[in-house]
């Protein structure tokens, strides 16, 4: 997976890969660092920072894990300190 500056596109691709891995029998799926967003500058990630346990990227991970009955570890994602 190669992340882009488009979060929706990245989450769609990650979702496809999680589904594919689950169909192949995976129980644990690991997504790469910054799977959700790869901006042009480090500061680009600050705009997407989510509160701990509250945000669309974290919700995506939880939903994907439940939907496919697998454990999902989503590389690095921007969280507010």
**pLDDT tens digits, 9-68:** 999 999 999 999 999 999 999 999 999 998 888 888 888 999 999 999 999 999 999 999
Confidence (pLDDT) at 68: 99
Domain locations along the chain: 7-74
* φ and ψ at residue 66, rounded to 5 degrees: -65, -45
Confidence (pLDDT) at 45: 85
Closest CA to 70 of 18, 32, 14: 18
How many whole angstroms from its chain centre is CA 21?
14
User: Is 90 exceeded by the pLDDT of residue 8?
Assistant: yes
Confidence (pLDDT) at 43: 85
């Amino acid at each position: 997976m190669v992340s882009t500056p488009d979060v929706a596109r990245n989450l769609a691709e990650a979702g496809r890969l999680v589904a594919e891995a689950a169909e192949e029998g995976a129980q644990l799926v690991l997504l790469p660092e910054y799977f959700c967003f790869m901006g042009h500058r480090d500061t680009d990630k600050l705009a997407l920072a989510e509160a701990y346990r509250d945000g669309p990227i974290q919700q995506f991970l939880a939903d994907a894990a439940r939907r496919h009955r697998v454990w999902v570890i989503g590389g690095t994602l921007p969280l507010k300190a």
